[in-house]
Amino acid sequence: MPKFESNRDLVQAIFDGLREILKMTLLIRELILNEEFEGLPELLFRREEKINDVGELLKEFENSKGKILNFDRVKGEIIELSEQILKIDSENADNIKEKMKQISEELIELIERKKLLRYLR
């Protein structure tokens, strides 16, 4: 993990990381809604790596509690941005669940048609 010249740099790195996670999460939503699943695994992997990186920064942030001005305000902003990400993530999970249900129903319908065609032969 990189060392920071100041606590301000640490806080900036945290917010930059959270914004990057938010962008990736929004892109994931777009891919899911457009049923473009091809690039999804790679994007999910990169997002998970970024989450881990930000997690390490947050540990360092917590250890700097007495050294950061307006610590509670900054922490509140971090929590707020994290909650936005989690909300979108939850929507993404719901969208994936809905797409999987739709695909499952289509597969069941195809299987039933195939059975009917075999019966008619």
Residues 43-93 pLDDT 10s: 999 999 999 999 999 999 999 888 888 999 999 999 999 999 999 999 999
In the chain, the number of structural domains is 1
Could you tell me if residue 75 is inside a domain? yes
Would you call 31 exposed, middle or buried from its count of C-beta atoms within 10 A (0-12, 13-18, 19+)? Answer: middle
The beta-carbon contacts of 112-120 under 8 Å, at least 24 apart in sequence, are none
Q: Is residue 1 part of a domain?
A: no
Q: Which two tokens stand for residue 30?
A: 């777009």
Main-chain dihedrals φ then ψ at residue 4, nearest 5 degrees: -110, 145
Asked if residue 74 is part of any domain, the answer here is yes
Q: Which domain holds residue 59?
A: 7-92
Q: Judge whether residue 10 has pLDDT over 90.
A: yes
Calculate helix-pair angle for 40-63, 71-120, nearest 10 degrees.
160
107 part of a folded domain? no
